[in-house]
Amino acid sequence: MHPTPPIPDKEQIALLDPFERLGLDRIALIHSPAQAEKACEELAASAHWGFDTESKPTFRKDEVSDGPHIVQLATLDKAWVFQLHDATCRAMVAELLALRGVTKAGFGLGDDRKRITAKLGVEPADVLELNTVFRQQGYRKEMGVKGAVAVLFNRRFIKSKKATTSNWANPRLSEAQLMYAANDAWAAIRVFHALGLG
């Protein structure tokens, strides 16, 4: 058995060329039932989705998050960023996540799953934690999206610190937030396919 190559460290990743990103023209922001219905139809064409969620950050020790505030799903061609303010939208996202037979691949999904069950009342089905796949391949450390993109594509995945800690509960998301959220899910589906799982 071949030894697994080491995961590049922060300094090594910083030297790599940036990983390509989905542009705003391929990102759909979903906040109404009509938009959610169209998104469901488009997503139905694919059996594998990149998956992630974002929650408004909590800053106090005893503060409990009422997230997720958005759910992101992506195919190789497009990403959908669902806001969860509307009850019908929430119900449709819950249905998508509970759908059997569709793989929802992402990184660090343990927390996301707990929050989804608490907020949307469903247990997400057929969720694939990509860190587990890397562990099965002999990588010892948590891989995460940055490490995975570096190992598989020899590229640097750009994550904006500012977007990470921004207010995801905001009714109006900024372009930077949309780009950040969509590309997290899109990178996951790219990694899924690059691992030969799709």
Indicate whether 95 pLDDT > 70.
yes
Which own/partner pairs from 83-86 qualify as long-range (CB within 8 Å, at least 24 positions apart)?
83/29, 83/30, 83/31, 83/171, 83/173, 84/119, 84/120, 85/31, 85/171, 86/31, 86/32, 86/33
Answer whether 116's CB lies under 8 Å from 51's CB: no
126-157: pLDDT as tens digits: 999 999 999 998 887 888 999 999 999 999 99
Query: What pLDDT does 3 receive?
Result: 62
- What's the one-letter identity of residue 194? A
